[in-house]
Amino acid sequence: MSSTDQNKASVASLFDAFRSGNTAAFDQLINERYVQHNPQAGNGRDAAKAFFESIGPVDVEVHRVIADGDLVAVHSNYRTFNMAGVDIFRFNDKGEIVEHWDVLQPIPETTESGNDMFGQLS
């Protein structure tokens, strides 16, 4: 399996941990000195664990995963928060997540275009 495929698999495991509330799984997925760019969470694996422990299981549906080298981007519906999100994870050469960015926005009842936040044209 290529490192890009392994990184995608690790992100899938991370999202499984979000869904189950199993922050112990972070020990195998996230580097201890993880850098967090979300302004609501601190740096470090322990801070990530504390953040998700305070929330509990997260209802999240992944719609797209895009990977290039050490970066994996995930387009998701965070139903728990009624938010559409794009998370970007950077990996080190050991396959650990070392950095995270996200862009989140509330999901509106309607849109001007009539398109939803997750659909795809055929």
Residue ranges making up the domain that contains 41: 3-106
3-state SS, one letter per residue, for 94-112:
CCCEEEEEEEEEECCCCCC
What pTM was computed for the model?
Answer: 0.94
Q: Is 102 among the domain residues?
A: yes
Q: Is 116 among the domain residues?
A: no
Cα angle value 55/57/60 (rounded, 5°):
105
Residues 3-45 pLDDT 10s: 999 999 999 999 999 999 999 999 999 999 999 999 999 999 9
Residues 53-97 pLDDT 10s: 999 999 999 999 999 999 999 999 999 999 999 999 999 999 999
Nearest Cα neighbor of 99 from 110, 107, 90 is: 90
Residue 120 has pLDDT above 90, yes or no: no
Residue 115 has pLDDT above 70, yes or no: yes
Q: Is 113 among the domain residues?
A: no
Q: Is 111 among the domain residues?
A: no
Phi, psi of 86 (to 5 degrees): -125, 115
